[in-house]
Amino acid sequence: MSTTPIPLTRDYAQQLDANDPLASYRDEFYLLPSIYMDGNSLGLMSKRAEQTLQDLVDSWKQLGIEGWTKGKHPWFFLSEKLGQMSAPLVGADPEEVIVTGSTTINLHQVAATFYRPEGKKTKIIATDLDFPTDIYALQSQIRLKGLNPDEHLILVSSRDGRMIEEEDIIAAMTEEVALIVLPTVLYRSGQLLDIERLTRAAHEKGILIGFDGCHSVGAIPHEFSKWEVDFAYWCNYKYVNAGPGGVGSIYVNRKHFGTLPGLAGWYSSKKDKQFDMELTLTVCETAGAYQTGTPHIFSVAPLIGSLEMFQEVTVEKLREKSLKMTRYLMDLIESELAGMGFSLANPVEDERRGGHVSLEHEEAVRISRALKEAGIIPDFRAPNILRLAPVAFYTTYEEVWESVQILKSIMLARTYEKFENKRGVVA
């Protein structure tokens, strides 16, 4: 961690806030009475997102079916427009990103498209620390090909239960592997994988590789096109603040344009051919091909306002502040919570760390509930992880400072002991 001792006072935190060039964006969001440290699960609502949702409601009210092609945000072209706006978040060309579907459906789409088992090349690589939905979807895709997931899904094991070594993933890249699907950031520990290195290694072995960007997009800049990542998919309701159940996104490298989507629908068509109603699909030669059906207009709408702010600030500046905030949080934890049974589960190096800090503690469930009672909203992940995510758009350094002080007081007073050692239905 930091080699220079930091002041542990509220005044110092307030000084950091006074010098924060992004501080004004906090006023763009509807803040809660509690200190919100769970933006890595669901971002807060912005006033612009609310406005663009209302704009789309009004377009339906005022235009009826004409809203598909008229108004401020014509619905027929909205997924493509938002793909263009999203492309800078992942370092992609505008045509390489489309806003559509959900995380799991989008994984099914890219796996159905790019998982083509043939001969002895039949296996998929993932890891045993992946978010479960990815594993379920990959198992399903293997079964749909008439194969056994127990034999054809390779789960690279973590050495310590927290992180995955890139060397272990590369070692698993044998001639039997057809596809690799990995997280950009591990959801529990916040480890950021070396995407460029892994993509290069996969391609050297003739393997297609894609990434789940749910825990990085909007918080960490990527260069998917430059690194020649084959595909990626992510949700937009975490760091991108698109709202609960907000529509997800797919990136497909342009070298795959024209490939018939595994799950085709009429929105896979070229836009100018879609309403010809032909029974032979004319595949769109952009990432738009990986849509299936009609976009969910009201679920897409908040993303318009949210992405406007990303265009103004840039994800690079958000990452700079995020790294400073998580570094500050880790330094406070090291200073204030020593000897209280906590251990950091996330990497401490900036280049290996995502947007949240992960704390392990055997009483994590009860501590999480005590924090909520005390006015701090954290995130719990089984079996023993507290995730704390200061979000660059709206979290202050003073809130980071106060969160650690409240956590310290909970531990000293042992107030967590009054809670049952059982997580809620939604953790």
| Total Cβ atoms within 10 A of residue 257 | 16
Q: CATH 3.90.1150.10 spans which residues of the chain?
A: 10-30+315-418
- The pLDDT assigned to 1 comes to 47
Which residues contribute to the annotated binding site for pyridoxal 5'-phosphate?
A: 103-104, 131-134, 212, 215, 237, 266, 294
Residue of 47, 96, 26, 102 whose CA lies nearest to 304: 47
| Total Cβ atoms within 10 A of residue 372 | 16
Peptide bond into 261 cis (omega under 30): no
- The pLDDT assigned to 4 comes to 63
pLDDT digits (tens, 9 = 90+) for 261-285: 999 999 999 999 999 999 999 999 9
Helix (H) and strand (E) counts in the chain: 13, 13
Residue 239 C-beta-side C-alpha neighbours within 13 Å = 28
Greatest Cα pair distance in the chain: 70
Tokens at 126, concatenated: 């993932």
Question: What parts of the chain have a pLDDT lower than 70?
Answer: 1-4, 425-427
**Torsion sign (Cα): 387, 403, 19, 41:** positive
Give the angle subtended at the CA of 232 by the CAs of 226 and 234, to the nearest 5°.
125
- The pLDDT assigned to 423 comes to 72
Which residues contribute to the annotated binding site?
A: 103-104, 131-134, 212, 215, 237, 266, 294
| Residue at 63: amino acid letter | L
Fold designation for 10-30+315-418? Aspartate Aminotransferase, domain 1 (3.90.1150)
pTM equals: 0.95
Say how many residues make up the chain.
427
- In CATH, what number does 51-313 get? 3.40.640.10
DSSP state of 28: G
Q: CATH 3.40.640.10 spans which residues of the chain?
A: 51-313
Tell me if 213 sits within 8 A of 184, measured CB to CB.
yes
Tell me if 363 sits within 8 A of 341, measured CB to CB.
yes
Distance CA 364, CA 342 (A): 9
Helix (H, G, I), strand (E, B) or coil at 10: helix
Distance CA 427, CA 424 (A): 5
pLDDT digits (tens, 9 = 90+) for 23-66: 999 999 999 999 999 999 999 999 999 999 999 999 999 999 99
